[in-house]
Amino acid sequence: MKHRVLSILTAGSLAAVCISSVATPFPFFYNSWTARYPASMTDDLLISAGGTGCQVCHQASAGGAPWNPYGFRVRIGWIATGDIDMAMMLAETFDSDNDVTGTSNLDEIAGSTQPGWIPGNDNTVLYADGTPVTNQPAPDCDGDYDPSPIDTRYCSPANVNSTGMPGRIDALGSPEVAQNNVTLAASDLPPGQFGYFLASRTQGMVMPPNSSGFLCVTGNIGRLNSPGMIIQGPSGSTAIDLTAIPINPTSPVMPGESWNFQCWYRDVGNTSNFTDAIEITFS
């Protein structure tokens, strides 16, 4: 169905609708983008949802200001070099939308997600002078805005903390043990309060004494609280070493195993709390 829509709307006719805020047509930018990334469906998935290819970079379907953070990054390179292909290349290594998986612009384009947009209303757009506008909705898209996270969420949402928000855990990186590339991230924690991550092969759900939240791992629990691994609210992240998870005794993660992670943290009022939890099945 998406392909049917695309066959009707040729690249040329689509590009013609990209009009800047000063009513100058700029099919050049979109044409350059599709020429550099011919296999990417990033633009096509916006188009089939009723938008235009301009929204890969711009908020408005007709282009112009403001830009999403990816488009703004390309714009910086364009202004600096006057070479649109160079500008797109210079933007590739950035993670402009700061998505939960930490995926670079190039990998999002290659994976046909949106390098400049995250799902929901937490997007930021920028005007020509760099003035940001926050809390903007993403344009409609027939695909995913971000790559799939490597984890499965459970025990979610967590009990709210003193900020009024439930703490949240995310995992970035790869579920492939051999890569030893997993970073745990926690967000919406109370500012200034410390916390650390927990690891276990076993899920559970119990509210410990003096806690405001649920502990969702049980059994042989590892505390990732060695120096450098302690985080501080409102958000923090730490890389974990899959060759040595500090359960008792310290054990490596093996391919095929599922492990569960959660973040414990202090909160104001002499209490503590937990984020929600995630399970990662390793390969």
| Contact status: 97 vs Ca ion (CB under 5 A) | yes
Nearest to Ca ion of 75, 266 (CB atom) = 75
d(CA 274, CA 169) in angstroms, rounded, equals 9
Give, as ranges, the residues between 128 and 167 that touch Ca ion (CB under 5 A): 145-146
**Per-residue contact string for residues 194-223; x = within reach of Ca ion by CB under 5 A:** ------------------------------
| Contact status: 103 vs Ca ion (CB under 5 A) | yes
Task: Please state the closest distance from residue 126 (CB atom) to Ca ion, in A.
Answer: 16
Task: Please state the closest distance from residue 106 (CB atom) to Ca ion, in A.
Answer: 10
Of 20-28, 45-53, 100-108, 213-221: span binding Ca ion (CB under 5 A): 100-108
Task: Please state the closest distance from residue 92 (CB atom) to Ca ion, in A.
Answer: 11
| Contact status: 123 vs Ca ion (CB under 5 A) | no
Nearest to Ca ion of 149, 233 (CB atom) = 149
Task: Please state the closest distance from residue 154 (CB atom) to Ca ion, in A.
Answer: 24
| Contact status: 99 vs Ca ion (CB under 5 A) | yes
| Contact status: 170 vs Ca ion (CB under 5 A) | no
Interface contacts to Ca ion, rule CB under 5 A = 95, 97, 99, 103, 108, 114, 145-146
